[in-house]
Chain A
Amino acid sequence: MTPADLRAAFIADLTAIAPDLDPAAIGDNDHLQDDLGLDSMDFLNLVSALHKRFGLPIPEADYPRLATPEKAVAYLAQMLAT
């Protein structure tokens, strides 16, 4: 998958969990909790959706690497490549 594909997939899962977010308005450096208002439950649901989509384990220790769309795309690309 290209970074653009990964980003689209990430945004799709994010907006499924927070349907009131406008996909077009989400910035690459928006912090999921501080800027987009996700709480711990939303974040866990997002991680669950990414786990289901990509089959990656995404341990809790890696959560900080999903803090923004940009970080998450880099993380997913790295994990899928190894």
Chain B
Amino acid sequence: MPITVAGKTVETDEEGYLANRTDWSEEIAKEMAKVDNCDLSQNHWEVINFLRQYYDEYQIAPAVRVLTKAIGKKLGPDKGNSKYLYELFPYGPAKQACKYAGLPKPTGCV
């Protein structure tokens, strides 16, 4: 299912993850979220930006615990838990947020 934003079409895999990470843009993230009926708030963006930064450094999405800790530091301790992240990303923070961030889907027993 390719995604078209502002006249530019980018490839995705069967589940809607970007085929090439370099194709990512904020507009693409918004378009992906729109398909899921999700309106991206500033807090969503905090998560997405952290994921992208972490990926740049480590070539993998952060572990759930690493993510919750980082978000807790940014948005306040009451938000540094997976319950809050599931409120933001009901399909699962690891998978849904990675998708919007243009990262590959985490694989394995997760």
Partners in one complex: no
Q: Which residues of B contact A (CB under 8 A)?
A: none
Q: Which residues of A contact B (CB under 8 A)?
A: none
